[in-house]
A and B are shown apart, each in its own frame.
Chain A
């Protein structure tokens, strides 16, 4: 065993792991509350995955359509999540998102403006009104840079290019984190009273994904190994529009803003096929002819929304069905056309990075040609199970926010609800952790056995004489997951996935990283495999457990939603026998929230209007 007295130790009240929108917002809040805070990021500051968010952040500011209200945002979120969302989280999110958006402006963000100078808002899938505050199609960059430039003056310490390996505990509560510096390959122990995980999802377990290399499910795996519970892991969002050509960029995101700003989906016969895929639940609120959809685009408020703006799960499945029916584009996707819908200048102004991305990577000019798009793994609705008010996990002292936490989005996330999620729940996690630290009576102690065991596991990978290539194991896992745990699932495939995971496990046990520990991507890749395997297994097992089709989870052998499906969440936890999966009954929703969610849109609009008159 390694002697840990030689290991660098850094002490904080709160350690935040992950420096995207959620982690930065959490760290700002902890500092604000006077806590000595450390922010650990896997990459350089400002490079986290939030930077890639394009379309915008959803908040019922009512700047563009005065009828918008938190209640309508809440209703949209619940319907989009197929009522499996945690009710209280969806309520808090819809209520607080406007304040968080204004706060970002107060910290220097420069959103696109309405003609009278307010924050402009754009249309997006599943949102009743134009609701997404945005900056062209680079809203994530604006958010992360604003938080970064504000955050560096708030007093927390940033630890860049530092990878968290294991959570450390003292008698069933958090005591710190074991991590390593990428540059030197040396280990470091962060001693902390509370840890906030803001590590994002695990899309890198699949081959076609919009996620960057960082998305290896680190937080999910660390929390699971430490005994915290995961929830809703069967709900993996396939974004309907990723690039499909050329192969090296397959999966790279094409923002929903293209459709929000008027883009349409076409099959190879030039048909707007989405009209054939309108689910009953949304039929009343969706246009049923191209004529009506076109009137909506021209700003006619009596026209209903075009079917291209249905929720992501619906659009992604429709694209798969078109391709399978032989009506796809040359490279196995469908066409997304904005060129024939909007003038070139409009496209370049509102979608500059899409214009750029297609021009440079695919040699396609989107102001004159259609794009080719298809589904890509994008987002985990599931994650660490948290308390709605405090974001506390089931392990004392461990908090989670952003994509790595479960609950807000239920079975399917609406576009734009992620960026607002980061800020609303990043802040609440910061408050939750600060309160926890205030109430803590004694300082948790580092258990040197836990730390040295973690160090040994990590260095074994370097020290063994021969072994398997980590890059090839990762590719093997990605191929398998894409094939067996894809957008449409069935029992046979999922059972096969579990079998193959056992096979891949044996390879992971023998993985070998060559070279020294300094800035060694091969070693890093090898260490990520543990986390990817946990995420993959948790997803496959949760998919097996949910015997219905709901939101992003589609079972060929169990088509359609089942009534009992909304009454439970699938929970994954570690047990002595390995990974354990169970159904946990949901408590009855608060009556008022249930009423709002199930009101007809006309009735809710009348209620909100009346409230405004009375005020």
Chain B
């Protein structure tokens, strides 16, 4: 059961580009990435697209399909009307390299700034012990496949281009996965408030909506981090206590 379908695919590079039209045969069960591959094999051999696993596990094939950020390997062709033209373009929040491939290296730079995991000592028998209920929420964050769709829709990064002040939702949940790790003993809260910019997130939940792993980024990750920052830095009683004890130490 194949049918002829129309595509508009953005072609170009840093210097600029435009949409090109392609019509191809689409078979039952195909996803948008299959269609892109068919265009490549039959009509545009040098059409650039990034992909790896084709099973929603690696997060390489992120693009914008009809304006919505998606994994192209998990977007089925039968989710569109049979006569609809499907437009595919690269992620908007990052610079384009070529065609559908964008330069996501900024994300790798952010990750490197995050202070690494620092485990507490092992038990007397040489083993670490953690209960499943205590790791459930960390495991939710660790499902992240680094597709950067959340980074792409974050207003702070996309519309306001505040890439120097906010690490974005992906790295807020990476920070949350470290801060809530039962074995971790490092303190990242000053950095979360400072250079990572937790205060900039205004909780519109756009990141949570596009997450292909259904991670509750805002409610389970970012908001608890914001609360921890508030408790530490804006709690008046704690603030007084700190003043008092540090004054004591000085004397």
Contacts and interface: CB of A to CB of B under 8 A. Distances in A.
B40 A106 contact: no
26 contacts: A43-B50, A45-B108, A46-B58, A48-B52, A52-B53, A102-B126, A107-B117, A108-B117, A108-B184, A110-B130, A110-B139, A112-B132, A135-B142, A149-B117, A247-B29, A248-B27, A249-B55, A361-B55, A361-B74, A362-B29, A470-B45, A471-B40, A471-B41, A471-B45, A475-B41, A523-B46
Contacts of A253: 55
A141 B48 CA distance: 25
Nearest to A514: B45
Contacts of A142: 142
Interface stretch (B96-104, B154-162, B219-227, B237-245): B96-104
A117 B129 contact: yes
Interface string B37-57: 000110001111111111111
B46 A515 contact: yes
B58 A469 contact: no
A445 to B, nearest CB: 33
Interface of B is mostly: loop
A443 interface: no
Q: Closest 3 CB pairs between A and B?
A: A246-B29, A515-B46, A522-B45
A263 to B, nearest CB: 19
A594 interface: no
A511 B93 CA distance: 37
B190 interface: no
Contacts of A214: 52
Interface in A136-169: 136, 138, 140-142, 145, 149-150, 152-153, 160
Contacts of A44: 50, 60, 104
Contacts of B142: 110, 135, 141-142, 145
A294 interface: no
Given A49-B52, A353-B56, A353-B57, 13 more contacts: A47-B52, A102-B127, A105-B128, A106-B119, A110-B138, A110-B139, A113-B130, A115-B132, A141-B142, A149-B117, A212-B54, A248-B30, A521-B49
A149 B116 contact: yes
B209 interface: no
Contacts of B13: 518
Interface string A279-311: 000000000000000000000000000000000
Interface residues of A, number: 66
B29 A248 contact: yes
Contacts, number: 160
B56 A356 contact: yes
A43 B40 CA distance: 19
A117 B97 CA distance: 46
B34 A248 contact: yes
A516 B139 CA distance: 43
B97 A361 contact: no
Interface of B: 13, 27-31, 34, 40-41, 45-60, 74, 76, 97-99, 101, 104-105, 108, 111-112, 116-117, 119, 126-132, 135, 138-139, 142-146, 174, 178, 181, 184
Interface in A107-146: 107-108, 110, 112-113, 115-118, 135-136, 138, 140-142, 145
A259 B78 CA distance: 31
Task: From A47, A513, A514, name the one whose CB has the most chain B CB atoms within 10 angstroms.
Answer: A47
Contacts of A591: none
Interface of A: 43-49, 51-52, 102, 105-108, 110, 112-113, 115-118, 135-136, 138, 140-142, 145, 149-150, 152-153, 160, 183, 212-214, 245-249, 252-253, 352-353, 356-357, 360-362, 469-472, 475, 513-516, 518-523
A356 B73 CA distance: 13
Contact of A118 (B46, B129, B146): B129
A48 B60 CA distance: 10
Contacts of A521: 40, 45-49
Given A51-B58, A246-B30, A247-B27, A469 B40 contact: no
Contacts of B27: 246-248
A513 B46 contact: yes
B240 to A, nearest CB: 36
A353 B58 CA distance: 12
B124 to A, nearest CB: 14
Contacts of A352: 143
A595 to B, nearest CB: 29
Contact of A360 (B40, B76, B111, B132): B76
A519 B97 contact: yes
A518 B55 contact: no
Contacts of B143: 138, 141, 352
A50 to B, nearest CB: 10
